[in-house]
A = this chain, B = another copy of it.
Amino acid sequence: MKIGFIGLGIMGRPMAMHLKAAGHELIVPERASLAPELRAAATIDSDAAAVAHHAEIIILMVPDTPDVERVLFGAHGVAEGLTPGKLVIDMSSISPVATKEFAARIQELGCDYVDAPVSGGEVGAKNAALTIMAGGSIAAFERALPLFQLMGKNITHVGEEAGAGQVCKVCNQIIVALNIQAAAEALTFARKAGADPAKVRQALMGGFANSRILEVHAERMINRTFNPGFRIRLHQKDLNLALTAAREMGMALPNTALAQQMFSVVTAQGGADLDHSAMVTAIELMGGVEVE
């Protein structure tokens, strides 16, 4: 199948190569930064409109909401090249609210739209082991599914509403941030009280306090390994999606708001590019806890 792929960064590049390896034809827009392996593997078109014109399915994997809007609806964008019957899949992590509007505009052109953000990071992308959370009609999802199966493992059709996948991704980022904050407050409390955080973590891993975060991120907090991983800067972007959407919907997310502020404390200390487990340094700072 002819697949257009726009957004060939750390995540997008290995995802596209999995599609190519399965026998699909890759079409990508010209970019000075195109990796040699992609230049060799793909057909190269002048811009996103030309990619959309030649491909049957167009996949986006770009950083943020304005990037998706520009790629889809900007000058020489995807919308200019679409003809009815094609499928657009946005795998970026962006605003669920904006996604509804983007999907409606693409559908007006007679095309299908699936939002399908991922989690699992660079490692998941390289190993074709991403978690994929999709929103869109059953027909559109089933059309996308064989491609998803080449890139991911946990694939869920969250709902038929446009944006359901983005809502699920936002929920993921809320829980991860808040579980990190939970571990950070508990381990800092232990340290301040003179207990050994490593022993406390060990004792808690058998019970209801256990989580993937306690297993992975709490260990980083104890070992002080804050190289990313997942950067606080990016997690702040995702929590901003949550808080903006919540405000637009008219609801309160008190702890998500607080977690965003805690990340800002780390950022204020110069830690925006540390792993999100460095949230613990904010709790330590505010608690007068010094860790050598």
Contacts and interface: CB of A to CB of B under 8 A. Distances in A.
A167 B179 contact: no
Contact of A185 (B157, B174, B204, B245): B174
A96 B186 contact: no
Interface residues of A, number: 74
A207 interface: yes
A270 interface: no
A131 interface: yes
B254 A207 contact: no
Q: Most chain-B CB neighbours within 10 Å: which of A216, A252, A283?
A: A252
A204 B178 contact: no
B206 A175 contact: no
Contacts of A287: 246, 250-253
Given A159-B196, A254-B262, A286-B251, A174 B203 contact: no
Number of copies of this chain in the oligomer?
2
A181 B157 CA distance: 25
A39 B80 CA distance: 85
A189 B159 contact: no
A170 interface: yes
Given A158-B199, A171-B209, A288 B254 contact: no
22 contacts: A96-B193, A119-B208, A120-B207, A131-B203, A156-B199, A156-B203, A168-B190, A168-B200, A172-B186, A177-B182, A178-B178, A178-B179, A178-B181, A178-B255, A179-B209, A192-B251, A207-B212, A211-B214, A252-B283, A254-B286, A255-B258, A255-B259
Interface of A: 96, 119-120, 131, 133, 135, 153-154, 156-159, 161, 163-164, 167-168, 170-172, 174-179, 181-183, 185-190, 192-196, 199-200, 202-204, 206-214, 216, 242, 245-246, 249-256, 258-259, 262, 283, 286-289
